[in-house]
Amino acid sequence: MNDQVYIHFLGTGASVPSLKRGLPAAVIMKDQTGILLDCGEGTQLKLLQAGISAAKIRYIVLSHLHGDHLFGLPGFLTSQQMFQRIHPLTLYAPVGIRSFMDCLMQITGFNPTFPFELVELPADESGSLNFNQFDISYRPLDHKSPCLGYHFKEHNKPGKFDAERAEQLGIPHGPERSRLHNGEAVELEDGRIIEPEQVVESPIPGRTISYCTDTRPCDATVELARGSQILIHDATFTEMHKDRAFPTGHSTAVQAAMIAKNANVEKLYLWHLSMRLDKQGEEQSLSEARSVFPESFIAQDLDSICLNRPQ
């Protein structure tokens, strides 16, 4: 098992696809298990281009049910059925997704034979989820449609086991040692209780990623993203079109950077960029964000980031 977490950006644009930017989708990948964040139209093609097998997607998490984040889902699911997927797949999305799926099944005849679970999340409440290797918290954002922002926190890795110390304490080789390594206290035959801290170094913290789109700037994103290594945030507009941000329920690059700064994240990735941004517009967006938060970057389709564990 390797100890790496990647974020693969698949589609980084807003509303309609362009040759340069597909519609929103990204994958968090750990140990060959993927979490797909949003599933805009064209996500299947982007997965192919990125060399990521769709079979590795174990979870799909949708921010909201606007078409640009959702319309890749029917194709993705239908292809999985055609490929006779056997691996389980769980879909999390705000309330309304069940009606969408019912409609899809009724009209297209899609009827998964692979283990498929659908979980509707009330989009006006905060909550938490637990995936294989991640704890997830979510909060309602401020968009035109009920929308959830997500924070992914990889489980901590147990600290190093001090075998020498274990010998000194007379801890037998066997299950006692693995229980201690996993954070449990154990009682030895002579009645002594050994606490994990006596033989295990401090746990190594897990990686943290926040995904907040689509949204106006709001306190919920600051709370969700606080201290994250990576914040992926709506940055649909530059200052030139900032008057369009509020009425459409989006943020500017500067507003995204303010959130990143207030949440004290390590890096901000500007996301959900308007198709009207050409190369010059992108440079403008980036320099506006960096004037507020220097560790800002523009997410580009098919870019991958490898995250180190926080120090």
Cβ nearer to Zn ion, comparing 14 with 28: 14
Residue written as token pair 């308007």: 274
Minimum distance from CB of 51 to Zn ion (Å)?
A: 26
Minimum distance from CB of 17 to Zn ion (Å)?
A: 12
The number of beta carbons lying within 10 Å of the beta carbon of residue 175 is: 9
- Considering only residues 134 through 193, tell me which ones interact with Zn ion, judged by CB under 5 A: none
Cβ nearer to Zn ion, comparing 40 with 196: 40
Q: Are 132 and 33 in contact (CB under 8 A)?
A: yes
Q: Report angle CA 215, 69, 290 to the nearest 5 degrees.
A: 45
Segment lying near Zn ion (by CB under 5 A), choices 101-109, 148-156, 191-199, 210-218: 210-218
Cβ nearer to Zn ion, comparing 68 with 288: 68
Minimum distance from CB of 40 to Zn ion (Å)?
A: 8
Minimum distance from CB of 238 to Zn ion (Å)?
A: 17
Cβ nearer to Zn ion, comparing 154 with 214: 214
d(CA 252, CA 258): 10
By CB under 5 A, residue 68 contacts Zn ion: yes
Segment lying near Zn ion (by CB under 5 A), choices 64-72, 132-140, 161-169, 191-199: 64-72
Minimum distance from CB of 68 to Zn ion (Å)?
A: 4
Minimum distance from CB of 34 to Zn ion (Å)?
A: 21
By CB under 5 A, residue 234 contacts Zn ion: no
231 bridge partner residues: 210, 268
d(CA 148, CA 68): 15
Minimum distance from CB of 147 to Zn ion (Å)?
A: 7
Assigned token pair, 280: 């010059």
Segment lying near Zn ion (by CB under 5 A), choices 2-10, 45-53, 162-170, 208-216: 208-216
d(CA 202, CA 200): 7
Catalytic choice (31, 38, 68, 142) = 68
By CB under 5 A, residue 38 contacts Zn ion: no
Cβ nearer to Zn ion, comparing 68 with 154: 68
Segment lying near Zn ion (by CB under 5 A), choices 48-56, 66-74, 239-247, 299-307: 66-74
3 carries an active-site annotation: no
Q: Tell which one of 8, 46, 66, 216 touches Zn ion (CB under 5 A).
A: 66
Q: Tell which one of 214, 245, 251, 263 touches Zn ion (CB under 5 A).
A: 214
**Which residues are annotated as catalytic?**
68
User: For binding to Zn ion (CB under 5 A), which residues are involved?
Assistant: 66, 68, 214
